[in-house]
Amino acid sequence: MCSSSFTSSEDLKTHIEGPHKKKKKFPCSYCSSSFTQSGSLKIHIDGVHKKIKKFHCSYCSRSFSLSGSLKLHIEGVHKKIKKFQCSDCPSSFTFSGNLKKHIEGVHEKIKKYKCNYCSSSFTRSGNLKTHIESVHEKIKKYQCTHCSRSFTRSGHLKTHIEGVHEKIKKYSCSKCSSSFTQSGGLKTHIESVHEKIKKFQCSHCSSSFTNSGNLKTHIEGVHEKIKKYQCSYCSSYFTQSGGLKTHIKSVHEKIKKFKCSDCSSSFSQKAHLKIHIETVHEKIKKFQCGSCFSTFAQLGGLQLHHKTHHK
């Protein structure tokens, strides 16, 4: 059958019954396995049932119950031999189990890891663990080293550090030179500045806005009449920051930036310039007396006329 030779007939018999006849006459007393040789049975019992780890790694302190497990450990951990090649992409792995997880999660999209709290399912156990900790248990284990903020996910911490502390603006707009620290900021910029998408609808009127901040300001200033912007020079309050700014410049700082193109007059407010041009240069008399046919360029003139001639 082969070129093997033995010193006794008993050894020859054992050899023939093993490799050649494959007669498995050594059954395991712990399970249904059986073996052709007593040595194989012993290795099986020691490694599987008694968990005796007699195979020690020469690179580290790990030990294994089976020689095959030690071999896989050395090839995968120390020698980094990636002999398990994916048939669908160029990826390769050191262990068959990792290849199996890769195929199921990436190519077959098998979501076998189900959440006990909700209907979510995941392709990897690590993703399920992260989901439970961040969504259901709200565990914020990722602590920022620059401030007191903490996060449920490492990705959120990374985004926070880059955007808040390092001020890294890695999200560049493809339509202009603007850049942002967060993807959400870039998205809002494109929608509001370039696409002019007004998706924030006012529930009180037909007005709509490109961002939530403008909608909030509109509701507080127009509908709720909340005057939260206080003047630091006097007791005046305003519903919008722009109103406060105009008030300070025109009343307290007396800045007259609106200049008349027909004369040397200048005004602190655009509306005052408009009235000046209409009444002085264009001579527009839009205030008419209800008792006679007299017209006036300014409301004050009409009021004086009415007091003088019709009372």
Lowest mean pLDDT among 2-11, 57-66, 149-158, 219-228: 2-11
The residue type found at 272 is H
Query: Looking at residues 203-213, what average pLDDT do you find?
Result: 86
Which pLDDT does position 19 carry in this prediction?
A: 57
Which pLDDT does position 37 carry in this prediction?
A: 85
pLDDT higher than threshold 60 for residue 21: no
Give the separation between CA 45 and CA 277, rounded to whole angstroms.
105
Report the half-sphere exposure of 179 (CA within 13 A, side-chain side): 9
pLDDT digit string, tens, across residues 50-107: 777 888 888 888 888 778 888 888 887 887 878 888 888 888 887 788 888 888 878 8
pLDDT higher than threshold 70 for residue 20: no
Domains along the sequence of the chain with CATH: 9-78 (3.30.160.60), 258-309 (3.30.160.60)
Which pLDDT does position 1 carry in this prediction?
A: 58
Arithmetic mean of pLDDT over the chain: 82
- Ranges of beta strands (E only) in the chain are 26-27, 34-35, 55-56, 63-64, 84-85, 92-93, 113-114, 121-122, 142-143, 150-151, 171-172, 179-180, 200-201, 208-209, 229-230, 237-238, 258-259, 266-267, 287-288, 295-296
Residue 249 is classified by DSSP as I
Confidence of residue 13 (pLDDT cuts 50, 70, 90): low
Residue 21 is classified by DSSP as T
Which pLDDT does position 300 carry in this prediction?
A: 80
Give the separation between CA 73 and CA 67, rounded to whole angstroms.
10
pLDDT digit string, tens, across residues 169-184: 888 888 898 888 888 8
Which pLDDT does position 18 carry in this prediction?
A: 59
Confidence of residue 134 (pLDDT cuts 50, 70, 90): confident
pLDDT higher than threshold 70 for residue 16: no
Which pLDDT does position 17 carry in this prediction?
A: 60
Which pLDDT does position 169 carry in this prediction?
A: 82
Threshold 0.85, pTM exceeds = no
Taking alpha carbons only, the member of 81, 78, 52, 50 closest to residue 65 is 52
